[in-house]
């Protein structure tokens, strides 16, 4: 049983509990001078070991505080009684049920260090701690917990992830009441808040539901330490509703930064003091993500010495999905969105996120299917910019499934080949689905959990995602620290970034445009091994027809090589499908085909003569046996013969006509002569690289 503690007025400056020179300090907000007391729970968890009154005289403003003298090496269980109602401490360090616990902070961080990954090198993976490993096939022992996430670190490393964004991991009120209309009647249905964006939150206590044991504090710290050891940063989502006060937000972020050593925060909600957080000195080297912030007000128009602010760009998702499904006239806007990387802040790009369709559902459903939410399917956004590829929802039609897989790969390519910071929503790398539910806020079940069974079925998608991430990280020109200018300001012979289409150095800005190509000059960046980067050319064809892209001329010692395309069926064609529009080359090609044809005819002639000789010999033998045998003159008449001189003239005439048509095409389409082109399959992304070669190589 807990011994009686000597008490005295405490320190009201820090809410919750913390160690001081005098002892263990408790501070809580009590509005309207209501009667209140602190209750220390007995060691057996039953009954009160000590009840401490919190008189008005011990309060400063609305904050009551008390200090328990001496050192306390073990956690103390407690709760408050305010105006006769049992209440948990909203600033408690650990909460189990309706009992709060102090945290002696004995955790050994050892040599833990933040990876401190620059924005330009980040690959963010957003997940819900419970939903990430709770589903079948996750392959972990402690499903749905911090420990379960630890067991998935090898998977994250193999994928190429170096930062995780965790949806709320603090305690929140899980009870929800949803108003459902049934004809003229209304009723309140109890629902469970699965995501964690709640109006009532305990920002300082890790979610006990996410712990495999009772000590959620230690388990979360172990998880963060393990992620850091693997070179993975930890970004926490913090939701502050409109009635949250500025002090709570500041204190909460200070707490998680200093006590749990997290690397950054994605701060959302109407109660976020954005400018105050951005200007806070304690958070000056901590990554801060906002849905929007006026960086001019933060920096007064000056570029920051340390760029630690990022904007999560929901606009990119909208533009990417519209371009993906083939909406016209988006090429210009989308390519500028892909290039965006301002000096004042980073921009996070994603094609899917928690609020909306998963990537697989965005290519499988035209409309939301939220019936399981109990709100008659009326909740969630109706602005999904999705396309079901011809069939709504599940299907066994192979062409539809192949198109959906290609569209998922296209979307991943959009995100991972853009400047800025790419973000992947958990499971999108292997086609995770929520069955068309675009608002799984209350789905603590198979709908909201990641389905790892799809990882094996859709291995080709995850393999492609790994390849893309590896390719991005290898080539610094794809993720520069400074925004690319679109000019050759260092005199390397080519601009750092340029755009192309059916003609080199030209883009179609018409309302019907559905494609474009971008070229990166690697001379303006380094590879991962420190060497000068390559010239990279990416063709984006969102049209449902094949599109031909012009390839800019390379230096004399370089040639274009196709690396990969999202259309696997057309990969060999894309790799070998270079075309050269020039009269001389066209005539040479026709001459080669003509020579091959005539050679084939000569061989065929020899074969025919041999066959005829055999037939003649056989006929002579038959003549000896029967008087009805065919005469030699008649046999010669029936033989098939070729006038090779006439054939030669015919093929030459055909060649001249073809050359004339090519010449006419040049005159009418204004194609640059000797310009090289590549044909890109419908709805696909193709990546080429400019490689150096030695003279004489094929």
Count the alpha carbons within 13 Å of 460 in the hemisphere toward its beta carbon. 13
pLDDT over threshold 80, residue 11: yes
Of 326, 289, 478, nearest to 411 by C-alpha is 326
> Please, what is the average pLDDT of the chain?
86
Q: Which helix (H) or strand (E) holds 596?
A: helix 583-625
The least confident of 74-88, 292-306, 414-428, 460-474 is: 292-306
Fold adopted by 494-580+674-692: Immunoglobulin-like (2.60.40)
User: Which tokens sit at 54?
Assistant: 């919190």
DSSP 8-state class, residue 475: B
- Alpha helices of 280-330 — where are they, by DSSP H? 295-299, 314-324
DSSP 8-state class, residue 122: -
CA separation for the pair 216, 373 (Å, rounded): 29
Contact in structure between 659 and 666 (CB atoms under 8 Å):
no
Question: In this predicted model, what pLDDT tens digit does every residue of 255-267 receive, in sequence order?
Answer: 999 999 999 999 9
- Residue 72's pLDDT band, with cuts at 50, 70 and 90, is confident
User: Which tokens sit at 561?
Assistant: 């090589």
User: Which tokens sit at 363?
Assistant: 């290519």
CA separation for the pair 261, 172 (Å, rounded): 21
Contact in structure between 287 and 279 (CB atoms under 8 Å):
no
The least confident of 180-194, 322-336, 372-386 is: 180-194
CA separation for the pair 369, 377 (Å, rounded): 6
Name which residue leads in pLDDT, 166 or 305: 166
Question: CB-based contacts of 197: which residues, under 8 Å, 6+ apart?
Answer: 168, 172, 239, 268, 269, 441
User: Which tokens sit at 58?
Assistant: 């011990």
Of 119, 300, 148, nearest to 220 by C-alpha is 148
Going by their DSSP bridges, the two strands 684-692 and 515-520 should be labelled as unpaired
Instruction: Domain ranges for the chain, please list them.
Output: 7-101, 121-476, 494-580+674-692, 583-658
Question: In this predicted model, what pLDDT tens digit does every residue of 519-537 receive, in sequence order?
Answer: 999 999 999 999 999 999 9
User: Which tokens sit at 631?
Assistant: 């005469």
Contact in structure between 683 and 406 (CB atoms under 8 Å):
yes
Of 222, 284, 217, nearest to 253 by C-alpha is 284
Contact in structure between 153 and 231 (CB atoms under 8 Å):
no
Of 454, 449, 368, 356, nearest to 411 by C-alpha is 356
DSSP track, 348-373: EE-S--SSS--HHHHTT-SS---GGG
Contact in structure between 590 and 697 (CB atoms under 8 Å):
no
Question: In this predicted model, what pLDDT tens digit does every residue of 289-339 receive, in sequence order?
Answer: 999 999 888 888 777 888 999 999 889 999 999 999 999 988 888 999 999
CA separation for the pair 490, 281 (Å, rounded): 37
pLDDT of residue 586: 42
- Residue 590's pLDDT band, with cuts at 50, 70 and 90, is very low
DSSP 8-state class, residue 501: S
Contact in structure between 389 and 440 (CB atoms under 8 Å):
no
Q: What is the mean pLDDT of residues 498-509?
A: 91
Question: In this predicted model, what pLDDT tens digit does every residue of 591-603 receive, in sequence order?
Answer: 444 444 444 444 4
Query: Collapsing DSSP states into helix, strand and coil, what is residue 464?
Result: helix
Could you tell me if residue 658 is left (phi over 0), alpha (psi between -120 and 50 degrees) or otherwise beta? Answer: alpha
CA separation for the pair 29, 104 (Å, rounded): 22
Same fold for the pair 7-101 and 494-580+674-692: yes
In sequence order, the β-bridge partners of residue 540 are: 516, 685
pLDDT of residue 411: 98
Contact in structure between 205 and 170 (CB atoms under 8 Å):
yes
User: Which tokens sit at 628?
Assistant: 């009805």
pLDDT of residue 602: 43
Of 12, 19, 104, nearest to 58 by C-alpha is 12
User: Which tokens sit at 642?
Assistant: 């070729």
Contact in structure between 678 and 685 (CB atoms under 8 Å):
no
Question: In this predicted model, what pLDDT tens digit does every residue of 271-280 receive, in sequence order?
Answer: 899 999 999 9
CATH code assigned to 7-101:
2.60.40.10
The three-point CA angle 199-205-207 to 5° equals 75
Contact in structure between 450 and 444 (CB atoms under 8 Å):
no
- Residue 378's pLDDT band, with cuts at 50, 70 and 90, is confident
- Residue 71's pLDDT band, with cuts at 50, 70 and 90, is confident
CATH code assigned to 121-476:
3.20.20.80
CA separation for the pair 523, 535 (Å, rounded): 8
CA separation for the pair 495, 522 (Å, rounded): 10
Question: In this predicted model, what pLDDT tens digit does every residue of 686-696 receive, in sequence order?
Answer: 999 998 875 54
CA separation for the pair 465, 155 (Å, rounded): 13
Q: Structure pTM?
A: 0.85
In sequence order, the β-bridge partners of residue 7 are: 68
């Amino acid at each position: 049983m807990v011994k009686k503690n000597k008490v005295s007025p405490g320190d009201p400056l820090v809410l919750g509990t913390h160690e001081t020179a005098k002892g263990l300090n408790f501070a809580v907000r009590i509005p309207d001078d209501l009667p209140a007391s602190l209750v220390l729970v007995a060691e057996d968890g039953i009954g009160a070991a000590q009840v401490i009154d919190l008189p008005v005289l011990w309060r400063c403003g609305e904050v009551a505080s008390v200090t328990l003298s001496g050192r306390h090496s073990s956690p103390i269980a407690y709760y408050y009684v305010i105006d006769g109602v049992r209440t948990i401490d909203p600033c408690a360090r650990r909460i189990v049920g309706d009992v709060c616990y102090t945290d002696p902070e004995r955790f050994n961080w050892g040599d833990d260090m933040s990876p401190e990954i620059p924005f330009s090198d980040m690959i963010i993976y957003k997940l819900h701690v419970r939903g990430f490993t709770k589903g079948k096939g996750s392959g972990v022992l402690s499903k749905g917990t911090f420990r379960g996430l630890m067991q998935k670190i090898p998977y994250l490393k193999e994928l190429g992830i170096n930062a995780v964004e965790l949806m709320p991991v603090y305690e929140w009120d899980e009870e929800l009441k949803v108003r459902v209309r049934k004809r003229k009647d209304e009723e309140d249905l109890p629902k469970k808040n699965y995501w964690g964006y709640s109006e009532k939150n305990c920002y300082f206590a890790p979610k006990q539901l996410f712990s495999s044991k009772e000590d959620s504090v230690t388990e979360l710290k172990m998880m963060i330490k393990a992620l850091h050891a693997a070179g993975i940063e930890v970004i926490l989502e913090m939701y502050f509703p409109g009635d949250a006060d500025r002090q709570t937000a500041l204190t909460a972020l200070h707490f998680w930064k200093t006590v749990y050593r997290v690397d950054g925060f994605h701060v959302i909600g109407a109660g976020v003091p954005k400018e105050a957080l951005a200007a806070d000195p304690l958070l000056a080297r901590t990554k801060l993500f906002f849905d929007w912030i006026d960086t001019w007000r933060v920096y007064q128009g000056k570029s920051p010495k340390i760029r630690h602010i990022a904007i999560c760009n929901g606009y990119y998702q909208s533009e990417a999905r519209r371009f993906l499904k083939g909406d016209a006239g988006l090429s210009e806007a989308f390519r500028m969105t892909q290039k965006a990387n301002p000096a004042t802040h980073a921009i996070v790009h994603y094609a899917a996120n928690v609020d909306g369709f998963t990537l697989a559902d965005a290519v499988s459903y035209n409309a939301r299917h939220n019936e399981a939410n109990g709100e008659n399917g009326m909740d969630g956004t109706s602005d999904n910019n999705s396309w079901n590829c011809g069939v709504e929802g599940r299907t066994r039609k192979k062409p539809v499934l192949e198109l959906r897989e290609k569209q998922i790969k296209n979307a991943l390519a959009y995100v991972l080949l853009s400047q800025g910071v790419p973000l992947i929503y958990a499971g999108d790398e292997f086609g995770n689905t929520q069955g068309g539910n675009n608002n799984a806020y209350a789905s603590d079940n198979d709908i909201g959990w990641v389905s790892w069974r799809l990882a094996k079925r859709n291995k080709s998608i995850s393999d492609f995602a790994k390849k893309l991430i590896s390719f991005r990280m290898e080539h610094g020109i794809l993720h520069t620290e400074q925004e690319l200018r679109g000019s050759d300001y260092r005199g390397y012979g080519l601009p750092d970034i340029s755009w192309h289409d059916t003609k080199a150095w030209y883009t179609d800005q018409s309302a019907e445009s559905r494609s474009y190509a971008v070229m990166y000059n690697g001379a303006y960046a380094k590879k991962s091994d420190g060497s000068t980067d390559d010239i990279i050319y990416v063709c984006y064809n969102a049209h449902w027809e094949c599109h031909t892209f012009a390839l800019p001329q390379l230096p004399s010692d370089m040639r274009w090589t196709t690396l990969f395309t999202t259309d696997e069926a057309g990969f060999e064609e894309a790799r070998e499908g270079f075309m050269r529009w020039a009269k001389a080359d066209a005539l040479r090609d026709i001459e080669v085909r003509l020579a091959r044809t005539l050679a084939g005819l000569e061989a065929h002639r020899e074969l025919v003569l041999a066959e005829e000789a055999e037939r003649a010999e056989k006929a002579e033998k038959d003549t000896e046996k029967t008087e009805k045998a065919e005469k030699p003159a008649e046999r010669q008449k029936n033989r098939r013969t070729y006038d090779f001189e006439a054939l030669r003239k015919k093929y030459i005439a055909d060649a001249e006509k073809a050359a004339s048509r090519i010449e006419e095409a040049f005159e009418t389409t204004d194609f640059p002569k000797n310009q090289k082109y590549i044909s890109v399959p419908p709805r696909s992304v193709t990546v080429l690289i400019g490689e150096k070669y030695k003279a004489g190589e094929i």
